[in-house]
Amino acid sequence: MIAAVTVVTSTPAQSLADLARKVQEERGATPERADPGDSKSAGSAPATKVYTNASLRSEPAPADPAEPLNATDTSTVPAPENTAVDLGNAKVHIDRRTVERALALGRASDRERAQFHARYVYPVTSPVVDRVEIITEFRRVMLASEEQVRMGNRQFGLREALPLLQPWRGRVAIIAHVRFHPHNTFIEVPPYEVSVGDAIAPLETERIPIIVNVSQSTRFLLGAQVQAVFDGAQLMQEPGILVVRLVNEELAAVSVDFGSLE
């Protein structure tokens, strides 16, 4: 649920506002609405977190001091309109209108959705890495809308999308889909890493195992999803080389024009 915030101004301020409005009406002018700026910061310093089978669930993102505050619940306050940071062609912190456009795309035809996803998913020629994909704020909302339509829920809208998007404000996830040899003896996911160039390190890394239950007592590690989360303002400006590594061994490399994504 999204809390409604009511702002009450004092009587003198209200009188001044009425006076200003009357002056504008007499001059035939239309009052202009202020456009709040986006105060989104780049976040904390990068620090890679290593996850194993003992801790493979995602942790909630740290609270963002730039988000609007509410005395009771900061996670349900709607984002102000037109608060997008436009870096090239990429909307790092999408506004409400862009969220609505992503929701509509999730309800579009199969052909339209496939064309959109093709820009974000990169097949890789590697015996270990199957593909890598990029999930921006825009694509995250679009994927959520697409999933809800698949489940028969066409009422999924802005009210439901904003809380889902809140932990990912200003963040971009890169996921490497890794497959293991059929005869592997892994008991946990090896320490795969995803990086972009030499200067952009992920804020955190999560390794999620893909497990097949052979029997009640036997489980088999089929592969993993290695998700690296980046500061969107740092990542989404220009082309870069996306690299998947295991220790010092380069397993896959893909050239991505991050500035062309949204």
Judged against a pLDDT cut of 50, whether residue 23 lies above it is answered with no
* Alpha-carbon gap, residue 82 to 87, rounded angstroms: 14
Average model confidence (pLDDT) across the chain: 73
Q: Are strands 192-196 and 204-213 parallel, antiparallel or unpaired?
A: unpaired
**Whole-model pTM?**
0.64
Q: What is the mean pLDDT of residues 50-57?
A: 35
Q: Which one-letter amino acid corresponds to residue 102?
A: A
E strand residue ranges, the chain:
86-87, 90-91, 121-123, 129-135, 171-179, 192-196, 204-213, 219-231, 239-246, 249-257
Q: Which of 59-68, 90-99, 126-135 has the highest mean pLDDT?
A: 126-135
Q: What torsion, rounded to 10 degrees, do the Cα atoms 55, 56, 60, 61 define?
A: 100
Give residue 21's pLDDT: 53
* Nearest-5° Cα angle at 159, 140 to 99: 40
Q: How far is CA 48 from the centre of its chain?
A: 18
Give residue 245's pLDDT: 93
Q: What is the mean pLDDT of residues 76-86?
A: 40
207 φ/ψ angles, rounded to the nearest 5 degrees: -120, 110
Q: Are strands 121-123 and 129-135 parallel, antiparallel or unpaired?
A: antiparallel
Task: Give the tens place of pLDDT for each residue, 235-255.
Answer: 988 899 999 999 889 999 999
* Alpha-carbon gap, residue 85 to 93, rounded angstroms: 6
Q: What torsion, rounded to 10 degrees, do the Cα atoms 238, 239, 243, 248 define?
A: -70
More confidently predicted of 209 and 6: 209
